[in-house]
Structure 1
Amino acid sequence: MTHSYPYFEPEFVPLSEFIPPLEACMDNATSDDFTIIKVDGANKQGILLKIVQILSDLDLIILKSYISSDGDWFMNVFHVTDHHGHKLNDPDLICFIKQFLNNAQRQNRFLSPAQVKIRHDNIINVNHIASTVLELYFLDRPDIFSDVVAVLFNLSYAIDSGEMWAHNGRVVCIIFIKEQDTGMPITDRNRYDNLGENLASLMKVHHLPKELWEVRLRNPTSSQIHTERRLHQMLQEYKDYEIGSPPLPVEGDQLSLSKLMDAERGFGNANKSNEQFCRPQVSIENWNDRDYLVINVKSQDRPKLMFDTICVLTDIGYDVLDGFVSCHESVAFQEYFVRGMNGHIMLNEIEKQKVIRSLAAAVERRMSRGIKMEVHTFDRHGLLSVLSRTLQLHNMSFKTAEFAKDDCLAV
């Protein structure tokens, strides 16, 4: 297959103005069970993650995906449903997808915030520009988060939204806050410094002298970042992937695409040990003759799994050139042909183990654990503080949490 590109004169016209727009089409005729989304365009570095990020932000469930790139061009195919498991029947949805895909393609800043979400089956815009961003890292102790939101309440800060993940004894949290009185980000330097000092004092109380914790406050102009990607980066930075035993290798008969598909069609070993069934399995092969690393990941399926995997692969320095993702009976198979962004593919054993452990951590970080609780109620100042304190009094704590406002409701 050959592709033609528009002619331009490089001495007079910037290349970026001639990036062809992404082509996105939605096919609802081929299958009764899912919608097929096909996206192709110029193969700009990081574009796969941006595409998967947008599908993830729209709460679409990716049942299967084919990733293919050839030099300067790519074509990706996604079999998707909405979060209820239904085909996409909203005629406006493809317009949103095309709009945000093309915006993402032309953004110079790769770390962009989530711009769209699905709430109550409606597409809404999400804007964190008018919020101060609080980033926290601390050891997993049940009362710390409750005390943090109590400090925000006592200092008259309103929590606009946020998310918290706990993995391997580490907790990272991003909270978007505003002044309670004005609904604006923090502009008073004294209040800004006072909040940082109060939170630092709180962390010192809950940690031993040599234990690691961190409090970061960012103003709105430096906070244009995708929240979930930033949570992955924070846990990766604090090496949560190094804790615990290494993940299991993927079985040898699943180390090629054809055998992977055979395994999917014949997968029925539900009687395997709980450890094999629940824990992610990761294997890496060097294909030196083709200048690839072949990465296989087998795990329990869950929403946003592909985004988490691609996100971590990108952040540890790998481009995904081709790949295949498929889900069958709650089990997900992912196979990626990758190359280091610096062109390097040879891995020593230490580097190999870091990649394997990092991918396993990416799968595990937001796997469901414990009891899932959803709260929809009228929003009021201090609501999250009351909720977290109530759980603490009953010897319970958050393991993962997502909180936001939807008009006058707290969700």
Structure 2
Amino acid sequence: MMSCGSPPTEVEDEYEKLVIRMNPPRVTVDNTSDIAATLVKVDSANKFGSLLEVVQVLTDLKITIRRAYISSDGEWFMDVFHVVDHEGNKLSDSEVINRIEQSLGAKALRLQSSKSSVGIQAIAGHTSVELIGRDRPGLLSEVFAVLTDLKCNVVAAEVWTHNSRMASVVYVTDGATGGPINDSDWLDKIKVLLRYVLKGNRDKRSAKTAISKGATHKERRLHQIMCADRDYNSEDESLEEEEETSDRNKPFVTVENCIEKEYTVVNVRCKDRPKLLFDTICTLTDMKFVVFHGTVITEGPEAHQEYYIRHLDESPVSSEGERQRLVHCLEAAIQRRNTEGLRLELCCEDRVGLLSDVTRIFRENGLAVSQAEVSTRGSQAMNVFYVMDASGNPVQSHTIEAVRNEIGERILHVKDDSSSTSRDSGRLSFGNMIRSRSEKFLYNLGLIRSCS
């Protein structure tokens, strides 16, 4: 594999394009080898970020990855994914093949870091607003209220909270024209007012603003924003004590050097959930690590991931400080997306100010939003909120009923995931009884088990 420690020269860039043209990605779908899942096999010329691109495509298609086997020594990578659709069935749609091939054939987007707490970026169709600040009850309501007051329409958003920090990527349009916002004075006003809201009277880490650049994948950008904000470090002692009481939910991450093979071996064990593989691969990639070999297996409700990694210059982790940082960053990446609270789904006709009104009702009824995903399909708003009370406790049923009565019982629904979780657990356990050919292959290479 070509070393990518520094930006590629024009010759290297053209060589990479030539290799891809001569050896286009090969994607095959196998529905016969595994009775419980579809095997998606990807062979392609290797370049830094190839693995993340594949996982990102599968994740965006809402495909669940039950098992994965990764091998990328040399200038070629071969990945095998055991996948099912969102209902736990084998795949039958050929769209996954086209999407992966298109992704691998395109030039990887270059990462661009941003130290700002509020970044604004005008891209096709909308303007992207990035936020980072200290989390508190009612913060999201204040953010949406400011955007509504400034005549902005929110068409999509993702909100994460972790370790008392809140990060969000919000896509807005001009409320009058429906197009992106390009007026510099308008953008400056948005930044100033949102920074004022984020900073509040306690946050000392949200004083800077800047205009972001690039067009990074939304969820990957959230990981980058929160990691740059060092959300993997607790802000106060009370939060650390709170975390100690919930160690049973904490992911188990180990990082050890395998001296004989000059790899660093990363092991992750945690509760399985959607998009888990994306979160770990995204973190390793953004920390400039290359995954040379890897195995991902879900056992019932638990997931086990093992990666053999090196730096871009092909050196393993070299210090205890670096090892600890890698552990903390992986733990944080897993925990950021862990959903806490009651899931509420809002489905209705979209309008300017909808989110401001809904989150205001949440705030007035003492609800705090721990995570949110906002999207618009045509004229319909399709929004998901995870809510708790202002103290972080489960929401009382009478509070939810009051909120539903005010917003509308027909458009705000309470979602219970417990039945689907138990149903999927049975399927996963059954699927794991079968040892696939790809697993045997990696086992024979000695790359499934960690070095002692």
Q: Is the Cα contact below 8 Å between 1:327 and 1:333 reproduced in 2?
A: yes
2:87 is matched with which residue? 84
Q: Deviations over 1:368-392 (max 9, x none)?
A: 1111111111111111111111111
Among candidates 192, 204, 210, match of residue 211 of structure 1: 204
AA aligned opposite 1:165: W
2:280 is matched with which residue? 309
Distance 1:108 1:68 in 2: 19
Cα 1:233–1:91 change in 2 (3 A) is closer
Deviation at 1:202, TM superposition (A): 2.5
Q: Is the Cα contact below 8 Å between 2:253 and 2:330 reproduced in 1?
A: yes
Q: Percent identity at matched positions?
A: 36
Which has the higher mean CA deviation after the structures are superposed, 347-356 or 308-317? Answer: 347-356
Q: Deviations over 1:63-103 (max 9, x none)?
A: 00000122111100000001111111123442333333333
- Answer yes or no: is 1:168 the counterpart of 2:163: yes
Q: Is the Cα contact below 8 Å between 2:272 and 2:303 reproduced in 1?
A: yes
Deviation at 1:110, TM superposition (A): 3.6
Gaps of 5+ in 1: 1-9, 113-126, 249-272
AA aligned opposite 1:228: E
- Answer yes or no: is 1:236 the counterpart of 2:227: yes
Deviation at 1:160, TM superposition (A): 1.5
- Answer yes or no: is 1:52 the counterpart of 2:55: yes
Among candidates 167, 171, 174, match of residue 179 of structure 1: 174
Residue 326 of structure 1 aligns to a residue whose secondary structure is strand
Distance 2:304 2:295 in 1: 8
AA aligned opposite 2:18: E
Among candidates 151, 156, 160, match of residue 156 of structure 1: 151
AA aligned opposite 2:139: I
2:109 is matched with which residue? 109
Deviation at 1:14, TM superposition (A): 4.8
Among candidates 300, 307, 322, match of residue 293 of structure 2: 322
Which has the higher mean CA deviation after the structures are superposed, 228-237 or 84-93? Answer: 84-93
Cα 1:100–1:316 change in 2 (3 A) is closer
Among candidates 339, 352, 357, match of residue 386 of structure 1: 357
Among candidates 95, 100, 125, match of residue 98 of structure 2: 95
Distance 2:39 2:138 in 1: 45
Q: Is the Cα contact below 8 Å between 1:129 and 1:224 reproduced in 2?
A: no
Deviation at 1:133, TM superposition (A): 1.2
Among candidates 191, 195, 199, match of residue 196 of structure 1: 191
Deviation at 1:229, TM superposition (A): 0.6
Alignment of structure 1 residues 231-380 onto 2, 5 Å? 231-243=222-234, 275=246, 277-380=248-351
Cα 1:339–1:275 change in 2 (3 A) is same
Distance 2:96 2:180 in 1: 32
Deviation at 1:394, TM superposition (A): 1.1
Cα 1:94–1:85 change in 2 (3 A) is same
Deviation at 1:196, TM superposition (A): 1.8
Distance 1:298 1:367 in 2: 14
Distance 1:215 1:150 in 2: 21
Residue 373 of structure 1 aligns to a residue whose secondary structure is strand
Question: TM-score normalised to the size of structure 2?
Answer: 0.74
1:6 is matched with which residue? none
Distance 1:60 1:108 in 2: 22
Q: Is the Cα contact below 8 Å between 1:170 and 1:240 reproduced in 2?
A: yes
Distance 1:32 1:215 in 2: 53
Q: Deviations over 1:44-79 (max 9, x none)?
A: 111111111111111110000000122111100000
Cα 1:348–1:129 change in 2 (3 A) is same
Q: Is the Cα contact below 8 Å between 2:109 and 2:216 reproduced in 1?
A: no
1:18 is matched with which residue? 19
Question: TM-score normalised to the size of structure 1?
Answer: 0.81
Q: Deviations over 1:246-303 (max 9, x none)?
A: 9x9xxxxxxxxxxxxxxxxxxxxxxxx9956521001111112211000000000000
Among candidates 215, 218, 233, match of residue 224 of structure 1: 215
Distance 1:189 1:110 in 2: 25
Gaps of 5+ in 2: 1-10, 113-121, 383-452
Distance 1:128 1:51 in 2: 24
Distance 1:410 1:48 in 2: 32
Deviation at 1:314, TM superposition (A): 1.2
Which has the higher mean CA deviation after the structures are superposed, 295-304 or 210-219? Answer: 210-219
Distance 2:98 2:195 in 1: 45
AA aligned opposite 2:52: L
Residue 375 of structure 1 aligns to a residue whose secondary structure is strand
